[in-house]
Amino acid sequence: MPLKEIAPDVFCLKVSIANVYFIGPPEGPWTLVDTGTPGHAEQIREAAESLYGVAAGPEAILLTHGHMDHAGSALDLADFWDVSVFTHPLELPYLTGRSKYPPLDPTVGGFLALMGRFVPVPSQDLGGRVRALESGREAPGLEGWEWHHTPGHAPGHVAFFRRQDGTLLAGDALTTMNLNSFFASVFEVQRVCGPPAPSTPDWRRARESVEFLAELRPLTIACGHGIPMSGGDAVMQLAELATNFPIPAHGRYVQEPARLDESGVVSLPAPPLDALPGVAVVVGVAAAAGTMFAVAARRRKRAAKADTPAPAS
């Protein structure tokens, strides 16, 4: 998805598997929300330059949470622009190298959990760049926006909401694509869904956060994963999700959440028996990869045809 304005002075850019958001008018000032996976600082800087000019850095970098697909390029960007990175206090242990997040749950089911079997949970250290959001105050650089603690997917997960026009930056408290479905993920089918399942260690609080966000009645829903949605259909789908929040039938954190505090992970429930044979995993991943490569090849072929000039008459 190319850089796109999804609400007044709110611009979305898909970076690898996640979205980042540029908040502010072209004349500035502006703020960056989330930073994608590691290695994408240059892509984000180029998008910022196209919007705000070469010399215009952000007021701050804000993180919905510290998972690697949202904070992976934060340190490179903060160093380049010489700005601070702000997050909820409960995310600090995972962004200062003091703790790793709870392990991913491969037994929760679905496409993302299958792929997560091969994804480690790293820790990272943003050093002196990272600072805590202050309760009761606006997030730095986001005048007219509220920030709300929306835990469940991560202990210090936050969402940003502009009440004036109902624009919600939901991070991973919600998604606008079904990450449990391979085909919905590949083709980015728009649908308001719950958080990424294998990396959600507290399902009760995740449900409560979705219920809270639905009460805000947002008109534009922009998440960390999926194409942003606006209008009546988005509103109805969020209300439906809040009413019938789908907690998985099984999984490590379904019956008992991970215990987390300001120091990081305190305790974890025992991992359940993983009945999926290793051979089946390899076959499933190979098939998924083959399909994704085929889809990408078809898209490149269509793009090449579209760029081919028509013959002169």
Same domain for 134 and 199?
yes
Q: Is the pLDDT of residue 309 over 60?
A: no
What gap in Å lies between CA 21 and CA 278, rounded to an integer? 38
Q: Are residues 295 and 225 in the same domain?
A: no
SS3 string, 269-283, reads CCCCCCCCCHHHHHH
Convert the pLDDT of each residue in 220-235 to its tens digit. Answer: 999 999 999 999 999 9
CB 35 within 8 A of CB 22: no
CA distance 299 to 310: 20
**CA-CA-CA-CA dihedral for 183, 21, 92, 147, to nearest 10:** -110
Confidence of residue 204 (pLDDT cuts 50, 70, 90): very high
69 with 26, same domain: the answer is yes
If asked whether residues 210 and 295 sit together in one domain, one would say no
Residues 44 and 168 in one domain: yes
Quick count: other Cβ atoms within 10 Å of Cβ 266?
10
Q: Verify that 196 and 281 share a domain, yes or no.
A: no
Token pair for 107:
């037994």
Position 291 pLDDT exceeds 50: no
pLDDT of residue 122: 78
What is the DSSP code string of 193-237?
A: B---GGG---HHHHHHHHHHHHHT--SEEEESSS--EESHHHHHH
pLDDT score of 307 more than 60? no
Q: What is the DSSP letter of 129?
A: G
Please report where in the chains the tokens 């044979």 appear, as a residue.
Answer: 277
Q: Are 163 and 207 in contact (CB under 8 A)?
A: no
The label of the residue with tokens 């490179």 reads 76
Total domains in the chain come to: 2
Residue 313 is assigned to a structural domain of this protein: no
Regarding whether 102 and 144 lie in a shared domain, the answer is yes
pLDDT category, 25, cuts 50, 70, 90? very high
**Angle 294-183-14 from CA coordinates, rounded to 5°:** 80
pLDDT tens digit sequence for 65-98 = 999 999 999 999 999 999 999 999 999 999 999 9
The answer as to whether 126 is a domain residue is yes
Same domain for 295 and 182:
no
pTM: predicted TM-score of the whole model, two decimal places: 0.88
CATH number of the domain to which 111 belongs:
3.60.15.10
What residues make up the domain containing 287? 277-307
- Same domain for 107 and 241, yes or no, is yes
Domain shared by 122 and 266, yes or no: yes
Paired residues of 193 in beta bridges: 175
Note the pLDDT tens digit of each residue in 42-63.
Answer: 999 999 999 999 888 999 999 9
For CA atoms 156, 142, 170, 54, give the dihedral sign.
negative
Q: With 60 as the cut, is the pLDDT of residue 277 above it? A: no
Q: Which residues contact 47 (CB under 8 A, 6 or more apart)?
A: 3, 11, 13, 22
Same structural domain, 54 and 73: yes
3-state secondary structure of 256: coil
**Residue 43 in domain:** yes
Q: Does residue 154 form part of some domain?
A: yes
Q: How far is CA 42 from CA 5, 56, 65, in A?
A: 20, 15, 21
pLDDT at 14 over 80: yes
Looking at residue 290, its pLDDT comes to: 47
Say whether both 85 and 53 belong to one domain: yes
The number of angstroms, rounded, from the C-alpha of 66 to the middle of its chain's C-alpha atoms is 10
Give the type of residue at 112.
L
179 and 110 Cβ atoms separated by less than 8 Å: yes
CA pair distance 205, 296, nearest whole angstrom:
37
The amino acid at 181: S
| Cis peptide bond prior to 29, omega within 30° of 0 | yes
Using an 8 Å Cβ cutoff, are 72 and 37 in contact?
yes
Whether the pLDDT of residue 112 is over 60: the answer is yes
